[in-house]
Amino acid sequence: MGAHILIVEDEEKLARFVELELLHEGYQVNKAANGRDALKDALENTYDLILLDIMLPGLNGLEVLRRLQKEKPTPVILLTARDAVMDKVSGLDAGAVDYITKPFAIEELLARIRVALKLHPVVAGAVQQEDSALMVQEGILTWGPLTLDEPRHQVKYANHEISLTNREFLMLKTLLENQDIVLSRDTLLEKVCGYEYMGETNVIDVYIRYLRSKIDDVFSVKMIHTVRGVGYVVKSWEAEGRE
Ligand code: CA
């Protein structure tokens, strides 16, 4: 049986769309359209995950989150507006495990749900296996022969050192931390340039091009994949079928 997810969203069409996608993925789904119903439902039932819109009638999402977290540690992914910087910060402070900015690509939401369920299991048995190909050892991320050493701020490919700027380094780190998850330009922009960045998202394409020229081209590998209309992904070395 799939994980049980509560969708809290007052935009009926969006809620219905997400519900259908989640059902299609095999999850069990309930919905709430205002803050009070959501809080009541979340307190009375056991959910593996809650998708929580912030702008809600009755009780706003952040208040629902705060009250819920006092009672039980159900993981929550916030659905936020593009420019609601403070909401994201207070939401993460209040205990949300992640947030996604509206409008979002459904593939990205599904990927974030999978990650949240894996990292924050509520019910025993909710996590089937630890199949993450991502290896984290004292701040070192790897992708086959490539290593990113965060404390030393050093990137190597089979012991050849690669010189990256700060933002290229951050971009690579974000991609490696999210292997097999397609990241949108907006997500990358926030991670690489910060919440406050108001410029064009095509700077992301520029950094991707720099990274490819310093890694993919030099070492004749295909590391960064473009997913048309969605964003970019580094598929795990194993998922690429490499030895
Ligand atoms: Ca809303």
Backbone angles phi, psi at 78, to 5 degrees: -85, 145
What local confidence, expressed as pLDDT, does residue 131 receive? 39
Residue 17 CA to ligand 1 centre (angstroms):
14
The answer to whether the beta carbons of residues 115 and 181 sit under 8 Å apart is yes
- Write out the two tokens for 7: 């969708």
What local confidence, expressed as pLDDT, does residue 220 receive? 87
Residue 41 CA to ligand 1 centre (angstroms):
18
Q: How far apart are CA 36 and CA 120, in angstroms?
A: 24
Residues of the chain with CATH 3.40.50.2300: 4-119
What local confidence, expressed as pLDDT, does residue 132 receive? 41
Is the pTM higher than 0.85? The answer reads: no
Per DSSP (E only), the strands in the chain are: 4-8, 28-32, 49-53, 76-81, 98-102, 136-137, 140-143, 146-149, 154-157, 160-162, 183-184, 224-227, 231-234
Residue 64 CA to ligand 1 centre (angstroms):
13
Residue 103 CA to ligand 1 centre (angstroms):
12
Tell me whether residue 230 is exposed, middle or buried, using C-beta atoms within 10 angstroms of its C-beta: 0 to 12, 13 to 18, 19 or more. Answer: middle
Instruction: Give the gyration radius of the chain's Cα atoms.
Output: 19
Please calculate the CA angle 88-131-225 and round it to the nearest 5 degrees: 65
Backbone angles phi, psi at 91, to 5 degrees: -65, -45
Residue 183 CA to ligand 1 centre (angstroms):
23
User: CA torsion, points 122, 237, 230, 88, in degrees to nearest 10?
Assistant: 40
Q: Cα–Cα distances in Å, from 157 out to 145, 177, 203?
A: 5, 17, 25
What local confidence, expressed as pLDDT, does residue 239 receive? 80
Tens-digit pLDDT profile for the chain (243 aa)?
689 999 999 999 999 999 999 999 999 999 999 999 999 999 999 999 999 999 999 899 999 999 999 888 899 999 988 667 777 778 887 888 888 988 899 999 999 999 888 888 875 333 333 434 444 556 888 898 899 998 889 999 887 899 999 889 999 999 999 999 999 988 898 888 876 777 777 889 999 999 999 999 988 889 999 999 889 999 988 888 776
Q: Does domain 126-234 have CATH number 3.30.70.260?
A: no
Residue 61 CA to ligand 1 centre (angstroms):
9
Residue 87 CA to ligand 1 centre (angstroms):
13
Residue 228 CA to ligand 1 centre (angstroms):
28
Residue 203 CA to ligand 1 centre (angstroms):
30
Q: How far apart are CA 55 and CA 61, in angstroms?
A: 6
Residue 125 CA to ligand 1 centre (angstroms):
32
Residue 195 CA to ligand 1 centre (angstroms):
21
Query: CATH assignment of 4-119, given 3.40.50.170, 3.40.50.2300, 3.30.70.1110, 1.20.120.430?
Result: 3.40.50.2300
- Write out the two tokens for 119: 């990292």
Residue 51 CA to ligand 1 centre (angstroms):
12
Residues of the chain with CATH 1.10.10.10: 126-234
Q: What's the chain's length in residues?
A: 243
What local confidence, expressed as pLDDT, does residue 6 receive? 97
Residue 39 CA to ligand 1 centre (angstroms):
15
What local confidence, expressed as pLDDT, does residue 125 receive? 35
Residue 179 is given by DSSP the state T
